[in-house]
Structures are given as structure tokens and as C-alpha cells.
Amino acid sequence: MSESTNGQNGLRGTTILAVLDEHGVTVAGDGQVTLGQSIVVKHGARKVRRLYKDRIVAGFAGSTADAFTLFERFESKLEQFKGNLARAAVELAKEWRTDKYLRRLEAMLLTSDGRQILMLSGNGDVIEPDDGLAAIGSGGAYALAAARALRRHADMPSRETAEAAMHIAAEICVFTNDNLVIETLEAS
């Protein structure tokens, strides 16, 4: 069972949101797994997890099997570079882009060490957002818009911002539910 993609590098079937502030980061993900375009096969999938001695948090959007492969490769890179998030992310992105097997993976990663957020794609992209907010997946744009509005007009901690934005995304995106997994890391 995997989540579907729309064939235009837009990944369906999930929403992952990261909200960074001066205290650290919150990464939230929904739990819905869809088969094809219309069948919900799981409501409580865990798409956000801690890596590298619980010092890195990452979430995935895309094919579940592909995401597990990427988590394993990313964890290996984190071990190799002793938890250096940026270096591990760049090395994974290079390998992802050039490796014949990895190039076929249909997933994206959103990761943070509590000080920065990075988005990784199979195109070799490693992107750090300007505003400390990032989202991936089919409901990513909705969650990102909600998080930006909340940040600009409400004085809320990152966890509350992420949770509220994810609930808004779940109200709009049919591929996103409100069964959330939320991980918070303090800035170190």
C-alpha cells in the first residue's frame, strides 16, 4: 500500500508541516494513507519520526516504501556525518539524484535539528525556507498558508501553530486527516 502521486512531482496522501521558532521546531504529520485516488486504508500512520539519537526529526510525503528507504539512507548519512543535518541532507540529495535505484523513489523529506528546517527532494533539492515554515505533501500548501497566517496574526508557540495549521489543512485536503503525530525538538 502506498500513497499516490499525481505525476507532476506533487505528492498526495499526506501533509507534513515544520514550524521553527526561537525555542526549537515542531514537525507535524497527518496519519492518513490512501490507496489510489479515493480509498483510505489507514488513519494512524506515523509519517514523522525522530532520527539520530533523537536529535533530528523528519517527516515524509509520498510512497511509504520509498520513504522508509529514504529514512534508512538519511539515518546512515546522519551517522556518517555525526548528526550534521546540512551535510547529511546534501549528501543524501546528491546520492538520491544520481543513484539509478534512488532516482525512482517518489517521496520528499522535511527535516530539522531544532535550529534549521530542510526540505529534500529526488531532484537534488535541499531547501531551507526563509521564514522558518515549510510543508510538503498534498495538503502542504494549505498547512503552510495557515501557519503563515497564524504566525503573523497570533502569538502562539510553534507546537500550537503547527497543530492548528494541520487541522485547517485536514478540513481542506481530502488526502489529509486530523490524526496527527507531532514531534517537538528544542533548539540546542
Q: For helices 64-80 and 85-98, give the axis angle rounded to 10 degrees.
A: 130
Q: Which residues are part of the catalytic machinery?
A: 14
Tell me which residue of 163, 169, 114, 113 sits closest to 137, measured CA to CA: 169
d(CA 10, CA 2): 15
Query: For residue 114, what are the CA distances in angstroms to 4, 66, 92, 176?
Result: 30, 25, 19, 25
Q: For helices 158-172 and 140-153, give the axis angle rounded to 10 degrees.
A: 140
Do strands 15-21 and 117-120 pair parallel, antiparallel, or not at all (unpaired)?
unpaired
